[in-house]
């Protein structure tokens, strides 16, 4: 089947993605600044994906890659608790861009030579967010995730000439362990968010893992696209003032 690289492989969505790719028969290489649980079942490199040199060094001995999934990132905890966008510092904005957008481009640069070593269908999948599409608040995070969409659009044609597809998945807010902890100051956050979706529930990490595998390996005629996986939040939220705000 080939080898898949997943950044952020130790987190809630990243670990679900690694399990989904392994279940589909792929060898997985994980990259994260946090070590995974013992015996994760895949090769692992510890590196901060905002550090270009560290990522390149980690991947020096990695061979051809069929697919790359860049999950690493997320909204900063101190942005989630900020009472007003006007109090968000420029440093916080830069940190969010670094963690979410720069890390994606670092991943792209480091893995592209490995994708070029492989043949046949290959893909890069980034993780954007419904925050880039809806009015939640979180301006620093939303701006960074909107940048992911621009990156996907800009590279679809150049990479397409080489047979490499590039797409993004935009999840809704998934109640992972980290997210639940960081939204604890708003006790009804996930209850209100679920009520605002078309399915009246939130997606699970496992559902996002399945979506990542589908976009990367099964939808072979698709490139330059953003696939929203949010239990219908974006469509149900049009004009809906019930969507919770930070």
Domains, the chain, ranges and CATH? Answer: 3-236 (3.40.50.720)
DSSP for 136-186? -S-HHHHHHHHHHHHHHHHHHHHHHTTTEEEEEEEE-----HHHHHHTTTS
The per-residue pLDDT for 161 is 97
- Residue bearing tokens 């992911």: 148
In whole angstroms, what is the distance from residue 238 CA to residue 63 CA? 45
Average pLDDT of the segment spanning 140-165: 97
Look at the alpha carbons of 192, 81, 142, 226 in this order and tell me if their dihedral is positive or negative.
negative
- Cα distances (angstroms) measured from residue 208 to each of 19, 43, 158, 191, 204: 11, 21, 27, 19, 7
User: Looking at the predicted structure, is the pLDDT value of residue 84 above 90?
Assistant: no
Q: How far is it, in rounded angstroms, from Cα 201 to Cα 28?
A: 30
Q: Which of 5-19, 49-63, 231-245 has the lowest mean pLDDT?
A: 231-245
To the nearest 10 degrees (0 to 180), the angle between helices 103-117 and 139-160 is 20
Q: How confident is the model at residue 39 (pLDDT cuts 50, 70, 90)?
A: confident
Of the listed ranges 70-74, 131-135, 197-201, the least confidently predicted one is 131-135
> CA nearest 127: which of 33, 51, 16?
16
Is residue 37 pLDDT above 90, yes or no?
A: no
Instruction: Note the pLDDT tens digit of each residue in 92-149.
Output: 999 999 999 999 999 999 999 999 999 999 999 999 999 999 887 899 999 999 999 9
**Whole-number percent of the chain with pLDDT over 70:** 96
**Per-chain mean pLDDT for the chain:** 93
* Coil/strand/helix, residue 97: helix
d(CA 239, CA 237): 6
Integer Cα distance of 6 and 19 in angstroms = 11
Q: Is the pLDDT of residue 242 over 60?
A: no
What are the structure tokens assigned to 231, written together? 């239990």
Whether 241 has a pLDDT exceeding 60, the answer reads no
Q: Tokens 């800009």 — which residue?
A: 154
Using only the alpha carbons of the chain, give its radius of gyration.
17
Please give the pLDDT value at position 36. 87
Q: Which pTM does this prediction carry?
A: 0.94
Sign of the alpha-carbon torsion through 126, 131, 133, 137 = negative
Output phi, psi for 112, to 5 deg: -55, -45
The residue among 52 and 241 whose pLDDT is bigger is 52
- Burial class from Cβ neighbours inside 10 Å (0-12, 13-18, 19+) for residue 179 reads buried
Mean pLDDT of 151-169: 98
């Amino acid at each position: 089947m080939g080898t898949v690289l997943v950044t952020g492989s130790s987190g809630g969505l990243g670990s679900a993605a690694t399990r989904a790719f392994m279940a589909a028969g792929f060898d997985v290489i994980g990259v994260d600044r946090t070590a995974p649980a013992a015996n994760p079942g895949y090769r692992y490199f510890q590196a901060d994906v905002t550090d270009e040199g560290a990522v390149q060094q980690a991947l020096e001995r990695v061979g051809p890659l069929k697919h790359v999934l860049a999950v690493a990132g997320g909204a900063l905890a101190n942005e989630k608790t900020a009472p007003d966008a006007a109090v968000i510092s420029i440093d916080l904005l830069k940190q969010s861009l670094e963690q979410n957008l720069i890390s994606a481009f670092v991943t792209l640069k480091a893995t592209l030579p490995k994708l070029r070593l492989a043949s046949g269908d290959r893909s890069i999948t980034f993780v954007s967010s419904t925050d880039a599409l809806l009015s939640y608040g979180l301006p620093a995070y939303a701006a960074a995730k909107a940048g992911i969409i621009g990156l996907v659009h800009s590279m679809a044609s150049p990479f397409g000439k080489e047979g490499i597809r590039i797409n993004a998945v935009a999840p809704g807010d998934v109640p992972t362990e980290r997210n639940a902890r960081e939204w604890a100051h708003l006790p009804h956050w996930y209850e209100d968010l679920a009520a605002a979706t078309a399915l009246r529930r939130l997606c699970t990490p496992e559902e996002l893992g399945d979506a990542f595998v589908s976009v990367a390996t099964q939808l072979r005629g698709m490139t330059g696209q953003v696939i929203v996986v949010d239990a219908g939040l974006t469509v149900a939220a049009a004009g809906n003032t019930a969507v919770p705000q930070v």
